Structure 1
């Protein structure tokens, strides 16, 4: 396990240790530094939200592999993501800034690397905020459906709930940073207790459970590809990797510990620990939760009913195994957790937009980098919420009851975020022992950790850009635009636009991080 060491404090009569570190990086303290180390951990833990990602994308995991996609893929992919977390913890300890991911890339690879990294990260954050808010709206719709408030599921109503959720989390984020820290602390315990309740109910209430053998060996191919085969090479090397979205999407957003580092006390150590610990504890808790759900999968005529799960998701499992009352209660617990998660996502996104705009990389940067009297970037909060709503509009249309566009937004969030992580992780590896480590570092382990992290990100990212259903493949007779995974279209399109923008204009004026503190203060640390 990587070790933590106390950072060396540089003396300065007017700045505390955190402000000194930030000043050395070129920034003055503009945001309110009121977050504790636990609060920093809490926001990443809240965004990872095992009660959100695990449950909203459970159907995708079962459709692409069945129980083995849960029981085996989750722990394996989680270990790789923890390695990614360790590499990023080392980076945030060295350079704890709100725009950390892009700042790291700029300092290690130059302005162009920072420009592309920052935009990938920002796009990923906006998409993850939208996807979590939409998942939250869906679970509230399912909750009310189980409670008998209405008779049929409605995507139009879900979208209305989605807009309400966006408006609510925007209002919450406009208030003080201290309130947000408090909400995230509460969120941790809601997730811990809520997950424990779900696990307990799923283990005790159902009349039947799958056997251990079924949970760890049963295979299922509900993707429509390869004729439903579960024995071909395609099943193991293509279909099951489609299900990786369950783990990769759930355990994401942990860069929130980075984006809130300028508001965290003792950030060089606290943000680093908050990042990797949020991954570690989420991986364990998420696995227990997923196993509990999988053991509770209902059986029809003595056989597990895997085929009904892709469209119905965990709501079908809860309803068929527990009944409407219990199902509604568990869905409500999850929906409330997702509301905490969406709030934290928007917080992280707005801080990244603030930091990136502070360095003049976003059109209208003066507006998005402005903070109000409470030292909160209100304009960035509102902008991120509005864009999130716009990119989710295609989710109004479904295919066989499944809002394919939701999974596309999920894929965009995963691709954008993880690709943005890969760039500074690779650049740190390339710098080798020349890299100036912070108080928390991986020692010589970076030599194998960083390449492993980059390869995992590239492999999973490519898998998430492939058509997940036959109707989404242009060369198929049953091709339907509503089934298209538009993640590669958005990813490639955005990269192309960024490349053109960089070549035609941005390279002439974007120089990377812009110093906001008096140079004399920076020079004082070298005296």
Structure 2
């Protein structure tokens, strides 16, 4: 059998499996394994999270936040990623966390998991694109004022919205390019630092005791872990695009896990090179943008700015991928009538095969949230906690289902951890509980207040409205009706398949 025939058969199996969950193949399924990995790798974006919060981490815990903190956070995050990959393999729909939680715990758990994930998705998009504006504004020679940052931020969000609405094929290629850009960008940056910058002794990377805060060092070091933990967010994107991925039970699961594992390696190399090239730690810690200062100290103004353009473009790629994941989650939840305006948000553009309304909601809410939060550490801590709480809900429900015998090895997908599954899930949940408490502590009290308000509002809304109305995942029609939906989309869409080829 030829490769083309095998892929056509796989596409048919994927379509039939989606029908089993009651959904039509509305989104355009064209992603391979690398593209699926690339979207999560791009959202993690070591050239975004580790860079934009570099100053926060360095002022909190000094060089050890990178030398010791990064591998510490990586170790526990890999447990979370492995537990999530198992679920992505078992239940391959764009609803991902929401759908997993519903299957394992019922409609109430599914609804709350969806909302936590949405809050995290909105705020991670805000954090990423706000980081782009923080770097792009000075690189463009604009004065670093709130108004200029906000204007650049709005333009960046608008560019992502337009591409996600109209350019599905372009975006698919940009996602692949993004992964190579990140890896190549890190290689260029590290190479430049190793060749041209004076370097400190390796022991500096593990030096403790440096903090510019009034907190005891051990506490400041823990708070500085936000730099690494926020970087490791958004890798649920590989699960959210399962309905656009060929053979998602295997490829989406690997996409989730490898995005974290590969980012761990490249991120540590990059952070080590930058930290060891710092000439004046006090000047870096006191700078408006410490990362820019560190690079310019090491490489000089002109060469340093050239490297910073590479970083900023990587951030832009990261934001594009984040809008993808956010819009797919909105679409999947609205498709099951879980959101106000679901008739609008749960539809796909017949011409472009994209959830256009969901794309623009993601963009608008991200803009509004940045205006509310004002400070990047607040945005990032909210997105970190919201996303990880949403990750932890289906993991905890799976442990409970296993204990009751409601979930057995027969329910696992082809990507599974076997006898290690329970231990990995327990360690993942414990880590999520730890960071959820840590990142609402001072100086991030606004995160805690925001979460308390959001949780209270969700509980009231559920009790008053949604528990009487929301039914959870639902069938969109009979087998014949699902096929009619698919045929209509194929006829009206710009993107059609002739055998394997998408034209």
Alignment TM-score > 0.5, same fold = yes
Distance 1:515 1:310 in 2: 55
Whole-Å separation in 2 of the counterparts to 1:517 and 1:82? 39
Structure 1 residue 310: Cα displacement: 6.4
State yes or no: 1:222 paired with 2:212: yes
Deviation per residue, 1:69-112 (Å, 9 max, x gap): 11011111111111111111110111011111010000100111
Instruction: State how 1:55-134 maps to structure 2 within 5 Å.
Output: 55-134=51-130
Partner of 1:465: 440
| Structure 2 residue corresponding to 1:316, chosen from 293, 305, 312 | 293
Q: TM-score, normalised by structure 1?
A: 0.86
1:213 aligns with 2:206: no
How far is the alpha carbon of 1:48 from its aligned partner? 0.6
Shift in Å at residue 129 of structure 1?
0.5
Query: Which deviates further from its counterpart, 326-335 or 263-272?
Result: 326-335
CA distance in 1 between counterparts of 2:302 and 2:430 reads: 45
Report the CA distance between 1:143 and its aligned residue.
2.1
Residue 274 of structure 1 and its aligned partner are, at CA, apart by: 0.9
Alignment match, 1:442: 417
Structure (1/2) with the larger helix percentage: 2
Deviations 1:443-487 (A, max 9, x none): 11111000100110111111111122xxxxxxxxxxxxxxx6421
1:167-217 per-position Cα deviation (integer Å, ceiling 9, x unaligned)? 1010110124332211100111111111111111122222x3221122112
TM-score norm. by structure 2 comes to 0.90
Give the structure 2 partner of residue 231 of structure 1.
none
In 1: Cα distance, 2:373 partner to 2:447 partner: 13
**1:315 shift after superposition:** 0.8
1:375 aligned partner: 353
Aligned partner (choices 399, 408, 417) of residue 378 of structure 2: 408
Do 2:175 and 2:317's aligned partners in 1 also have CA atoms closer than 8 Å? yes
State the SS of the aligned residue for 1:305.
helix
Structure-2 separation of matches of 1:268 and 1:502 = 32
Aligned partner of residue 289 in structure 2, secondary structure: helix
Q: Secondary structure at the match of 2:362?
A: helix
Q: Is the 8 A contact 2:40 2:259 kept in 1?
A: yes
Which residue in the other structure is 1:5 paired with? none
Q: What is the alpha-carbon distance in structure 1 between the residues aligned to residue 412 and residue 480 of structure 2?
A: 24
Contact kept, 8 Å, 2:58 with 2:285, in 1: the verdict is no
Q: Pairwise CA RMSD of aligned residues?
A: 1.9
Which segment drifts farther, 197-206 or 156-165? 197-206
Aligned to 2:489: none
CA distance, structure 1, for counterparts of residue 10 and residue 431 of structure 2: 44
Distance in 1, matches of 2:72 and 2:237, equals 23
When the two structures are aligned, how many residues end up with a matched partner? 468
Contact kept? 2:211, 2:220, Cα under 8 Å: yes
- Residues 300-347 of structure 1 show CA distances to partners (whole Å, capped at 9, x for unaligned) of xxxx43763564320111122222112211111111001111001001
Unmatched tracts of structure 1, length 5 or more: 1-12, 227-234, 397-404, 469-483, 523-527
Q: Could you tell me which of 238, 242, 261 is aligned with 1:280?
A: 261
1:334 aligns with 2:304: no
Q: Distance in 2 between matches of 1:14 and 1:56?
A: 41
Whether the 8 Å contact between 2:161 and 2:363 is mirrored in structure 1 is yes
Counterparts of 1:244 and 1:15 in 2: how far apart (Å)?
42
Specify the alignment match of 2:391 in structure 1. 421
User: For residues 271 and 284 of structure 2, what CA distance do their matches in structure 1 show?
Assistant: 18
Residue equivalent to 2:43 = 47
Matched, 1:202 2:177: no
Q: Using the alignment, how far apart are the partners of 1:421 and 1:365 within structure 2? A: 23
Aligned ranges for residues 135-154 of structure 1 at < 5 Å?
Answer: 135-144=131-140, 149=141, 152-154=143-145
Note the residue ranges of structure 2 that are not aligned, 5 or more in a row: 1-8, 483-503
Which residue in 1 is equivalent to 2:478?
A: 518
Q: Tell me the SS of whatever aligns to 1:374.
A: coil
Report whether the alignment pairs 1:183 with 2:160. Answer: no
Call closer, same or farther: CA 1:51–1:156 in 2, change over 3 Å. Answer: same
- Taking the TM superposition and a 5 Å limit, the aligned residue runs for 1:484-503 are 485-503=445-463
Residues 402-427 of structure 1: CA deviation (Å, up to 9, x unaligned) = xxx22111111111111000000111
2: distance between equivalents of 1:521 and 1:491? Answer: 41
Matched residue, 1:431: 401
Q: Aligned partners of 2:11 and 2:287: how far apart in 1?
A: 55
Aligned equivalent of 1:456, options 431, 447, 463: 431
2:328 to 351, 365, 388: 351
Q: Paired residue for 2:273?
A: 292
List 4+ stretches of structure 1 deviating above 6 A: 519-522
Contact 2:31 2:245 in 1 (8 A): yes
Q: Does 1:162 align with 2:153?
A: yes
Residue number in structure 2 paired with 1:471: none
Where do residues 379-398 of structure 1 align in structure 2 (5 Å cutoff)? Answer: 379-394=357-372
Distance 1:265 1:249 in 2: 29
Partner Cα distance (1:445, 1:510) in 2: 35
Distance 1:124 1:57 in 2: 17
User: Using a 3 Å threshold, how does the CA distance of structure 1 residues 395 and 488 change in structure 2: closer, same or farther?
Assistant: closer
Cα deviation, 1:232-280, whole Å, max 9, x if unaligned, reads xxx32x2211111111111110000011000000111110011101110
> SS state of the match for residue 392, structure 1?
helix
